[in-house]
Amino acid sequence: MDPDKVVSLSRNFEKKYRRSTFLTYVYAFEATAHQRKGELDKTVDSAEKSIKMNPDNMMTLIILSSMLPQPQSLHGSDLDKQRKLKEAKTDANHALELVDKLTRHTDETDDAFKTRKNTIASELHAALGMIHLQRAAAGVNGMDQDELDKAAQEYRASVDLHPTDEFCYRLGEVYEHENKIGDALESFSKASELGQGTGIQKYADNEIAMLKQRQAQAPRLPLTR
């Protein structure tokens, strides 16, 4: 459905049914519509309204934990940024607890249930990876190594559960920051493979070319007898 139509329907529902328990889901769909339009601040605002009505709304927890750590959302003072990252981490960890409690639908196969859980958990671990990557970038003396290690751990968990071009690319970025060129090349190659025909393939291929050039230009250590 057209995102503008979703927002309009959400506003109409809110006016008519201000006390409805379904409002938490209406706000979640409204947040998704704003997300599709690239309106990140409005996305977060709608998601915040949703989560206030139902702290266990999985859809909203995923939206908040994924959107709050994005560079476009991290404006304001350093305290504001840290508050948003803390909130995103809390939301992601709470959602992971809820994932563990999910039950299989009556018409859902065991494989489909496992895939559904892994897909959700993968997205949440990726959100945690972005949180730690942002904290690493905020290091006083360059990239914070401890936060980079945590980011790598979360992105590896994400990719192991459900690899996507975006999450493989992010893992490659972390490895590049850690100067683990071989691991970075492997992750960027996987991102390029999964992102065939997309913008991520182009970005991944560019990173691969630059890293291979760096490898070629690296000084060779003399052989010892």
Cα–Cα distance for residue pair 186/183, rounded to 1 Å: 5
Q: Write out pLDDT tens, residues 177-193.
A: 999 999 999 999 999 99
Structure pTM? Answer: 0.90
Residue 125 has pLDDT above 90, yes or no: yes
Q: Write out pLDDT tens, residues 34-46.
A: 999 999 999 999 9
Of 100-104, 121-125, 137-141, 216-220, the poorest mean pLDDT is in: 216-220
Q: Calculate mean pLDDT across residues 101-121.
A: 96
pLDDT at 72: 85
Cα–Cα distance for residue pair 138/148, rounded to 1 Å: 11
Residue 138 has pLDDT above 90, yes or no: no
Q: Calculate mean pLDDT across residues 47-56.
A: 96
Residue among 86, 89, 36 nearest 65 (CA): 89
Question: What single DSSP character describes residue 222?
Answer: P
Of 30-39, 122-131, 134-143, 147-156, the poorest mean pLDDT is in: 134-143
Percent of the chain with pLDDT over 90: 86
pLDDT at 20: 94
Q: Calculate mean pLDDT across residues 92-100.
A: 98
The string over 141-157, giving b where at least 16 C-beta atoms fall within 10 Å of a residue's C-beta and e elsewhere, is eebbeebbebbbebbbb
Look at the block and give the residue holding tokens 């490895």.
175
Q: Calculate mean pLDDT across residues 106-129.
A: 97
Mean predicted lDDT score pLDDT of the chain? 93
